[in-house]
Amino acid sequence: MAGYLSESDFVMVEEGFTTRDLLEELTLGGSQDEGVSFFVADLGDVVKKHLRFLKNLPRVRPFFVVKCNSSPGVLRALAELGLGFSCANKAEMELLRHIGVPVHKIIYTSPCKQAAQVKQAARLGIQVLSFDNEVELAKVARSHPTARMVLRIATDDSCSPARLSMKLGATLKSCRHLLETAKKMNMDVVGVSFHVGSGCASDPQAFTQSIADARLVFEMGTELGYRMHILDLGGGFPGTEDSKVRFEEMASVINSALDMYFPEGCGVDILAEPGRYYVASAFTLAVRIVAKKEVPSDQAGLDEEDGASPKSIVYHISEGVYGAFNCVFFDNACPMPILQKGSSARQAFASGRGGRGHV
């Protein structure tokens, strides 16, 4: 063990003792302030997810996306498991270094970077950075000329609500020009990355096309004299069992594409950037019902069914969409409430949302 975890990072429970049991003990026992919402994380679930990842994607090294969930206990647990980490800003880089994560396990993957944060990466010794345009390339060349650059390419993410490729990622047509520009700047381009987005979990073939596109960019790089050896598959892996496509099915598609375009022994280090895959099912949020009122069904936005009551109950809870429930805005999520035993409808749990700011 690398020594990232300490006893203060977790609570050991007896076998058979569930997360819900712990939540009820914390809330009914009065150990939490009334009206305060809080999360409980099952680190055992995180460990199981990691073992599942290694089993199904044996050639891929996971780099956890810190912006998805920066809880120190989670980061320490993942560091203990040997994961690398993907950062998007200065604060995340510093947090990982404070925990003790070595710089060779940290990559700076945001294609849109502030110059000050590029300089911070250089000071910390973080070497692998991403780019998708000439301006970013020039910025890194000025502030971190020894960086090893990874060219992020656009993907077909039309099924993803985020549509990241509308703002991030270079088109295949522009890749040769960007590689030639990097050559003129004496910048070393060592690989290719992409990100299909979590919303593409319903279409794992998005990975196949992106891996095929990456192969083309590798060939461009070889023609220009680059020794490209990193393929970053990005994220988009489902974190809950209610996804349209199971993780095993997605992994099978990815493995087949890798065998075709980047076969074993080709000398390419294959990375991925899972985020919510590791934490979505591990976190449960406890909230308190602070008020309720009866309203007409049409006012509540519900369609009245035959024989149904003409009124509905609206509950007000101790969290909102600008806090822990921001997943409702960002991901069109629909958190499922679970009423606490013996709570008289005053305490409830929302489960399965451990990503993007602990949601």
In Å, how far are 85, 136, 262, 354 from 42, measured between CA atoms? 20, 39, 36, 10
| Pairing assessment for the beta strands 269-272 and 230-232 based on DSSP bridges | parallel
Residue with tokens 């209610």: 242
Q: Of 10, 11, 36, 54, whose CA–CA distance to 274 is shortest? A: 54
**Among 24, 92, 136, 273, which one carries the catalytic annotation?**
273
> Cβ distance 216 to 172 under 8 Å?
yes
**Among 67, 183, 229, 311, which one carries the catalytic annotation?**
67
State the helix-helix crossing angle for 72-80 and 90-99, rounded to 10 degrees. Answer: 60
Tell me the C-alpha distance between 282 and 262, whole Å: 33
* One-letter-per-residue 3-state SS of 245-314: CCHHHHHHHHHHHHHHHCCCCCCCEEEECCCHHHHCCCEEEEEEEEEEEEEECCCCCCCCCCCCCCEEEE
Q: 192 in helix, strand or coil?
A: strand
What residue type is 270 in one-letter code? I
> Cβ distance 283 to 354 under 8 Å?
yes
Tell me the C-alpha distance between 214 and 296, whole Å: 55
What DSSP state is assigned to residue 8? G
**Cα–chain center distance at 119:** 25
Tell me the C-alpha distance between 202 and 198, whole Å: 9
Contacts of 184 (CB under 8 A, 6+ apart): none
- Annotation marks residue 67 as catalytic: yes
- Annotation marks residue 219 as catalytic: no
Q: Of 147, 132, 251, whose CA–CA distance to 193 is shortest? A: 132
Host H or E run for residue 48:
helix 43-56
What DSSP state is assigned to residue 106? E
- Annotation marks residue 34 as catalytic: no
Instruction: Give catalytic residues, as residue numbers.
Output: 67, 195, 273
